[in-house]
């Protein structure tokens, strides 16, 4: 079965020490995401990672907002 194709829509930055906890929380809920480090597209400080999300249903978005304690930033084009 082929995985669906998603567009990167918004992201949150987190310190490296929080990556495992957040990853586990998202995996339990089957929420699609990418984990990214600093790149030409997304400039991040050293030791900081970005959890990047596609457009998601409102209920899923609310869970993500609660998990990260706030709204994400738009993913740069």
Beta-strand pair 48-53/34-36: antiparallel
CA 72 remoteness from chain centre: 8
Q: What is the mean pLDDT of residues 55-62?
A: 95
State pLDDT tens for residues 5-37: 679 999 999 999 999 999 999 999 999 999 999
pTM (2 d.p.): 0.89
């Amino acid at each position: 079965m082929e995985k669906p194709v998603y567009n990167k829509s918004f992201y949150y930055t987190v310190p490296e020490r929080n990556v495992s906890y957040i990853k586990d929380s998202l995996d339990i809920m089957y929420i699609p995401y990418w984990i990214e480090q600093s790149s030409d597209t997304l400039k991040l400080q050293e030791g900081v990672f970005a959890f990047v999300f596609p457009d998601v249903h409102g209920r899923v978005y609310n869970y993500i907002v609660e998990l990260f304690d706030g709204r994400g930033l738009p993913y740069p084009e």
